[in-house]
Amino acid sequence: MRRVECRSQGGVRQEQPDWMAKTRGYTKRFAYYVGKRCQESSIASVAKELFLNWKTVKALEMEYMEEKLRRAGPMRPHIIGIDEISIKKGHSYRIVVSDLEQRRPIWFGGKDRSQESMDMFYNLFKPRQLKGIRLAVMDMWKAFENSTMHNVPCAAILYDKFHVIRHLNDALDEVRRKEYRRVNKEEKKFIKGQRYNLLSAMENLTVDGRQSLNMLLKANKRLEVAHMLKESFSQLWDYKSEAWALKFFQNWKSSLRWQRLKPFEKFAEMIEKHWDGIAAHCRPENQIPLGFVEGLNNKIRVLQRRAYGIRDEEYLRLKVLTCMLLDF
């Protein structure tokens, strides 16, 4: 490689061939090979296989992931999914925004899950680009909703049904704990160890699980009613008309009367406060698969476990943004 003297800025410059990687001493082809191997294995195992230092492997993988992002092209989202992930202990969060049409994460950032951090994503776009976002899928976190309504007032807000069901399961679990404390020793043996069977959908249970659940529901009337209410609530997502969905919810809420299920009453109040974002499921233009955001969270947790906790935030950002992109 030639070395030349720069007349404009002074000093000696060395030519950089286009086939050389940013990490000195390696070609791009080798860097991309290392990057591909790291998609399937940990940095430590790839370093041991190729007789390299783990820091070198990490730098080569980051170069490969940056190239994947460059080839993916700029962000032009129309339907976005918003969620947060925990990056370490102590309630330290980062926001992940996904393009639900292209089914890939497009932004990882913020300093927490506040409205100011969410604004950082919208500030990346020009006003005419923001008008292209027609739907935002999120949980019922007020900061995300306020930021979206302020920056993209024309976009519809849709609450992720998996987060709604999670609140319902929490209510059922609270009823289970209260019943365990209330009943006598003989009845406790039916409740103990039944948390999974109570919270799971009936079609996902094994034969033994269904038998254990049936024994529990026969032994405890209040848990039987709570479980029936939990199972019936899933019908809400099948309605194509907002009017019929509202009528179903009102009937479901009225069935709570005289049941003395305080956690379910609090859940019903929460649904009433956020009804517009839940009823948006009924509109035909909003009929999109919503499992991607939840699946992405699970994939991120796998990445964090495999790396035994990633402390380099830039490395984690690249991992998250490229985890759904195809290798080249």
The CB-based long-range contact list for 145-148 (8 Å cut-off, 24+ gap) reads 145/277, 146/115, 147/115, 147/118, 147/119, 147/122, 148/82, 148/118, 148/122
Strands 104-109 and 92-99: antiparallel
Q: Which of 154-158, 198-202, 276-280 has the lowest mean pLDDT?
A: 198-202
Percent of the chain with pLDDT over 90: 46
The answer to whether residue 189 scores a pLDDT higher than 70 is yes
CA distance 297 to 305: 12
Residue type, 104: R
CA distance 269 to 168: 12
Distance of CA 237 to the CA centre of its chain: 20
pLDDT score at 34 = 95
C-alpha closest to that of 290 among 169, 180, 166, 148: 166
- Give the tokens for residue 82: 């918003």
- Segment 193-200 shows an average pLDDT of 88
Sorted by sequence, the CB contacts under 8 Å of residue 293 that are 6+ apart come out as: 81, 83, 98, 100, 137, 160, 162
C-alpha closest to that of 286 among 131, 95, 78: 78
Instruction: Report which DSSP code applies to 15.
Output: -
CA distance 60 to 36: 10
pLDDT score at 310 = 64
Buried b (16+ CB within 10 A) or exposed e, 13-40: eeeeeeeebebeebebeebbbbbebbbe
> What does the pLDDT look like over 91-150, one tens digit per residue?
788 999 999 988 899 999 999 889 999 999 999 999 999 999 999 999 888 999 999 999
pTM for the full predicted model: 0.83
Residue type, 70: R
CA distance 63 to 57: 10
CA distance 107 to 95: 8
Do residues 59 and 23 touch, judged by C-beta distance below 8 A? Answer: yes
Strands 135-138 and 156-159: parallel
CA distance 269 to 263: 10
Element (H, E) at 105: strand 104-109
Element (H, E) at 14: strand 12-14
The answer to whether residue 309 scores a pLDDT higher than 70 is no
> What does the pLDDT look like over 30-74, one tens digit per residue?
999 999 999 888 888 999 999 999 999 999 999 999 999 999 988
Q: Which of 26-30, 48-52, 255-259, 271-275 has the lowest mean pLDDT?
A: 255-259
